[in-house]
A = this chain, B = another copy of it.
Amino acid sequence: MFPYDLSGKNKYYTLYGRLRGDVLCGRLKAGEKLPSKRSLAADLGVSVVTVQTAYDQLLAEGYIYSRPRSGYYVCAVDIQPAEVRHPVPPAEPAKPQYAADFVHGSAPAELFPFSSWAKLMRSVLSDCGEHLLERVPSEGDGELRSAVASYLYRARGISVDPCYIVIGAGAEQLYGTILQLVGRDKLYAVENPGYRRISETYALNGARCVPVPVTEGGMDVEDAIASGADVLHISPAHQFPTGAVMPASARVKLINYVRERGGYIVEDDYDSEFRLYGKPLQNMYALCPENVIYVNTFSKTLAASMRMGYMVLPPQLYRRYAELFGRTSSAVPLFEQKALARMIEGGGFERHINRLRNYYRGVRGALMAKLENYSVPHTVCDSGGGLHFTVRFPPAVSDECIKRRALAAGINVRCLSDYLLTPLKGYGGAAVVNYSGITLAAANALALPEIN
């Protein structure tokens, strides 16, 4: 009746598995009596303890039940048979190789001060020891929040109490948290053209988004106000992909708008550190700390893999944050938080940014030199901020042509129109040159494509 082969190791588990399988497939029917432990043990040539252990496990899981002084019976466990298909996992597409990629890319890894970072990590490991295992409050480690506050003061002129700073696992997690704080019922305005990932993240989190056109001064003020949005997600210091810088008058109008309706501006300061000439621009948070949420990350300044970012919350949102998340833990390991805090406090972070800035100045200079001698008529639009600028071609040149000719020269590039969330006229003929992942050697070796 039970022709099980229990010759291998772990006899009890094998027996349990076979019996369970027989119940699930219906070979053992509901209500059927199982043989006594003794007789099954004799049948199978195993000890009574083995059978007992298997029966116990089946009992615990509800495959069989026992009746006192009678024995073990099969429970009614009717699974509908279904073929379980484990399809072959999708193959990773091969990554194309370009002579220059102006679409993707982050700082060359060799610029990261890895040896001093490793040293910091080792010192955190030995200094903090088992404290690293303690629960980290959801808003982040106090030391890192203080370090960020003093960095913001030095680098951006923002004076903020560390208690309003929240550390998160990258920008997208922070956007999600903002949504939970401000409300999913609110309307969120995003820049068009813009980073698709921002509106996607809001949408994935269930918010309604409205794309608002970006003009030379950033998100268009009239359109933003007409949209009726409660929250404006903008990058006033250096918009991607247009490179627009929002003038003070527009900033103030948008602040007045959200202030009147009790809304918020999410000031996404994602690449303000890379204003290569002159001081970083004054941010909006300082103009109105009660209605601006300041967001920045370390993905551009340190490494894309460093999933850490922070936001500065207005006081009333901070109170709501404490209510909603006070009992949860930070998603960022304490280890990384402590190491980064020490890197900022010791000045290493700012030295690294300066090094990066110098490096990118060189890359930008090499690209500009190439463009100066470029035979194709064009205009370079560069506000001097961030790690991208645009190159505009005469109206007759189509976006398709720009990208095709570039690709033929080994150059991966996108056009402004590729970043449109909804179709808009007037964004044609402009290549977006994002040089964050371009090495100096690649910039010097660049051969610009013929476009006609």
Contact = CB atoms under 8 A, between A and B. Distances in A.
Interface stretch (A265-273, A330-338, A347-355): A330-338
- Identify the interface centre among A79, A173, A281: most chain B CB within 10 Å of its CB: A79
A405 to B, nearest CB: 26
Interface in A164-212: 164, 169-170, 172-173, 176, 180, 184, 197, 204-206
Contact of A331 (B77, B90, B133, B170): B170
A85 B305 contact: no
A427 interface: no
Interface in A117-134: 118, 121-122, 125-126, 129-130, 132-134
B86 A256 contact: no
A304 B135 contact: yes
Contact of A23 (B23, B205, B248): B248
A79 B118 CA distance: 47
Contact of A328 (B20, B172, B287, B332): B172
A290 interface: yes
Nearest to A106: B135
Contacts of A278: 53, 56-57, 60
A74 to B, nearest CB: 10
Nearest to A307: B331
A290 B61 contact: no
Interface residues of A, number: 100
A48 interface: no
A77 B252 contact: yes
Contacts of A322: 90
B77 A248 contact: yes
Given A86-B315, A250-B62, A305 B331 contact: no
Contacts of A13: 279
Given A80-B256, A89-B161, A114-B129, 16 more contacts: A13-B279, A57-B278, A57-B279, A60-B245, A62-B246, A62-B251, A75-B247, A118-B125, A132-B305, A180-B204, A197-B328, A204-B324, A305-B333, A305-B334, A307-B330, A333-B333
Interface of A: 13, 16-17, 20, 23-24, 53, 56-57, 60-63, 75-80, 82, 84-87, 89-90, 106, 109-110, 112, 114, 118, 121-122, 125-126, 129-130, 132-136, 157, 161, 163-164, 169-170, 172-173, 176, 180, 184, 197, 204-206, 217, 245-252, 255-256, 259, 278-279, 281-282, 287-290, 303-307, 315, 318-319, 322, 324, 327-336, 383-384
